[in-house]
Structure 1
C-alpha cells in the first residue's frame, strides 16, 4: 500500500515541475523595476546630466507657456518697428532688437517651440521606422536583411544635411517639410543600432522558448526582443533630438527651413550674420540658444548611457 502511494507521488512530481512558477512573473517585474531604480539613482549622481535635464525641462515649459499664453512675452515677437531697429541690449530689450525692430529676447523664447517640435517629431518618425526596419532585418536575416541594410548604407553614404537639403528642395519649405526631411535622413542610424542589438538578443534562450510555444515573429520581435534593446534606443533617441535640432537650425540658416515671419533660431542666426559687425547680438543670442539646447541633450544622452552601463554604475 505504501509502495503504491510512493509510486503515485513520484508520477505526479514531473507534472508539478512542469507547471509554471507563479512567482516568476512578480520576480521579473521586480527585477525590471529595480533596474529602472538603479538607472534613475545613477542618473541623479551625474551632475551635468541633471543640470541638462533641468535646462530641457525649462525649455519645454517655456515652449508650452508661450504657445498657450503668448501674452506673457514682453513684446510681440512678430511686431515690426523700423524706428527701433538694431537697438543694443538694454533694460527695455534684454537681447536687443533685430533689423526690423523686433525684440530678440521674445523671438528666442518663442523659437523654442519650433526647435523642440522639430526635434521631437523628427526623432519620432526616424525612431518608429528605423526600429521596425532594424528589428525585421536583424531577426529575419538572409535576403531581407541584405536588402534593408544596403538601402540604409546608401543613405548613410550621403551626408545627412545634404540629404535633408535634397528632400527640402523636393518637398518645399515649411516646418512640416523640415520634420519629414530630418526624420527620414536619420532612419539608417536607428536601423543599424537596433539590428546589431537584435542579432545578439535573438539567440537568447527566452527567444527560443517563445518560438517553441508558438509565438509569431511579430510577437517575438515586439514583446521579447525590442524591450531588451530599449536602453540603446533611449540613448540614441536622446542624442538624436540634439542632432535634429542642429539640422533644423542648419536648414533655417540656409533659408530652407521654417519661413518668416516665424521665429526660428537657425533663421535668426542666418539673417543676423549680415550684420555681424554692426549688431553682433542679433547672431550671438540665437546661437547661444542653439548651443545650450544641443549641449543639454548631448549631456543628458551621455548620462543616460552611463546610467544604463553596469560598469559605470559601479564606479
Structure 2
C-alpha cells in the first residue's frame, strides 16, 4: 500500500477535512451515534425542537390568548368538549385548552433559560475558584455545596415562591420563584463538576508552563483552565432542564405558581382539572399533562444520549463495531501477511 493510500485511510485526516459544522455540539454526537443511541438522540432532538419552536411562535400558533374567555360569538363556555372552534375543548375556567397548552411552552422555556443560566454562571465561577485556589476556601465551599444539595428542590421552590411573591404571583415573580429555587439547588451540581475538572487540569503541563512565563492567576483560570473544564456542561444542562420543567409544574399544581391571568402554566391547569376527572371530563387534564410528559421525555432523551456518547468505553466499543474500522486496520494486516517468519519482506 502506498503512502497516499495510508494517508487517505487515516481517521485524523478525515477529521481534519471534515466541515466545521460537523464539530458543533450535538451535531458531532449525532454523527458519532449508531443504532439505538442515534434513534434516542434523534427522537429527543425532534421533540425538543418542536417545544422550542412552539414557544417562539406561540403568538402565531395559538388560536386565542392564554387568558381569553370570549370571541366575537360570545363566551367560550366552561368544560366544552373538544371540537368545533375549540379543538381540545375548554377548561373549567372557560379558557381554550389548546391555547393554554401552546402558551405554556413560553413559560416553561423562560424558567429553563433563567434557572439554568443562573446555575451555570454561579456554579462554574465557584467551582473554578474553589478548585484552582484550594485551601480553606475550597473546604468551606465544598461543605456549603453538600449542605445545599441535601435540600429537596420542590420544597425549596415553595419557600422561594412564598418569600418572593406570597405564593400567588405574576409572570415575572412566578418565573423568578421557580428559577431561583432551581438555581440554588443546581449550583452544587455545576460546582462539583467544574471543581473536579479544575483540580485535574491545573496540574497539566500547559498550566505549569503558563505559570513559568509569568501569566497572572486570573488569566490562567479563565483563559486556560475554564476553557477545558466546561466540556461536560451540555450534558448537565439538558438533564437539569427537564427537572426545571417538573419543578415549575409542581409549583403550579400545589397552588404556588403563576396566576392564570398572567401566563399559561401546565401545572396550574392540572390542579384546576382534578375535579373534572371524576366527572368524566378528561380533556382538561390530559393535554397539559401530555405536554409535560413529552417535553420532559424529549429533553431527557437528549441528555441521556449525550451522557452515553461521552462515555469512553461506549465510544471505543462503537468504533470497534463500526464497519469503517476494517478498512483502517487493513494496511497493518496486509503488511503482516507479506512478511515471512524471519521478518524479511516476502
Q: Normalising by the residue count of structure 2, what TM-score does the alignment of the two structures yield?
A: 0.76
- Which residue of 1 is the match for residue 177 of structure 2? 177
1:39 aligns with 2:29: yes
Tell me by how many angstroms 1:306 deviates. Answer: 2.5
Residue by residue, what CA displacement relative to the aligned partner does 1:63-109 show, whole Å, maximum 9, x if unpaired? 1112xxx2542233322256621122225423221012211011101
Partner of 2:271: 270
1:122 aligns with 2:122: no
The aligned residue for residue 341 of structure 2 is none
For 1:80, the equivalent position in structure 2 comes to 69
Specify the alignment match of 1:137 in structure 2.
130
Q: What does residue range 1-315 of structure 1 map to in structure 2 within 5 Å?
A: 38-43=28-33, 46-66=38-58, 70-80=59-69, 84-172=77-165, 173=169, 174=173, 175-261=175-261, 262-278=263-279, 279-314=281-316, 315=318
Q: RMSD of aligned C-alpha atoms? A: 2.5
Instruction: Give me the whole-angstrom Cα distance separating, in 2, the residues matched to 1:230 and 1:83.
Output: 51
Q: Which moved more, 1:56-65 or 1:103-112?
A: 56-65
* Aligned mates of 2:90, 2:76 — CA distance in 1: 11
Deviation at 1:298, TM superposition (A): 0.9
Q: Distance in 1 between matches of 2:143 and 2:234?
A: 25
Query: After TM superposition, which residue ranges in structure 1, 4 or more long, deviate above 4 angstroms?
Result: 29-38
* Aligned-residue offset at 1:31: 11
Distance (Å, rounded) in 1 between the aligned partners of 2:23 and 2:264: 42
- Cα contact 1:53–1:300 (8 A) shared by 2: yes
**In 2, are the aligned partners of 1:178 and 1:258 still within 8 Å (CA)?**
no
Deviates more, 1:111-120 or 1:88-97: 88-97
**CA distance, structure 2, for counterparts of residue 270 and residue 202 of structure 1:** 50
Gaps of 5+ in 2: 1-12, 319-346
Alpha-carbon separation, structure 2, partners of 1:163 and 1:234: 25
Residues 40 and 307 of structure 1 are in contact (CA less than 8 Å); yes or no, is this contact kept in structure 2?
no
| Deviations, residues 232-283 of structure 1 (Å, cap 9, x unaligned) | 2111011111111111111111121222222111111111123222222211
Q: Deviations over 1:209-244 (max 9, x none)?
A: 222122222222222222223232111011111111
Equivalent-residue separation in structure 2 for 1:161 and 1:72 (angstroms)? 31
Structure 1 residues 44 and 62: alpha-carbon distance in aligned structure 2, compared to 1, 3 A threshold: farther
Give 1:43 deviation, angstroms.
Answer: 4.7
Alignment length (residue pairs): 285
What is residue 9 of structure 2 aligned with on the other side? none
Q: CA deviation at 1:312?
A: 2.3
Distance 1:218 1:44 in 2: 41
Residues 95 and 155 of structure 1: CA distance in aligned 2, closer, same or farther (over 3 Å): same
Q: Could you say if the C-alpha distance between residues 44 and 293 of structure 1 is closer, same or farther in structure 2, counting changes exceeding 3 Å?
A: farther
Quote the Cα distance in structure 2 between the aligned partners of 1:72 and 1:296.
Answer: 21
**Kindly tell me: are residues 223 and 181 of structure 1, through their superposed partners in 2, closer, same or farther at Cα, counting changes over 3 Å?**
same
Look up the SS of the partner of 2:273 in the other structure. Answer: helix
Question: C-alpha distance in 1, partners of 2:46/2:125?
Answer: 32
> TM-score scaled by structure 1?
0.83
Secondary structure, in 3 states, of the residue corresponding to 2:203?
coil
Query: Which digits, 9 at most, give the CA deviation of each residue in 1:151-207, with x for residues without a partner?
Result: 111111221211222222211132233322322222111111211222222222122
| Structure-2 separation of matches of 1:73 and 1:260 | 16
Asked if the contact 1:43/1:304 (under 8 Å) is kept, the reply is: no
Change (3 A) 1:31 1:161: farther
- Farther-moved stretch of structure 1 (200-209 vs 136-145): 200-209
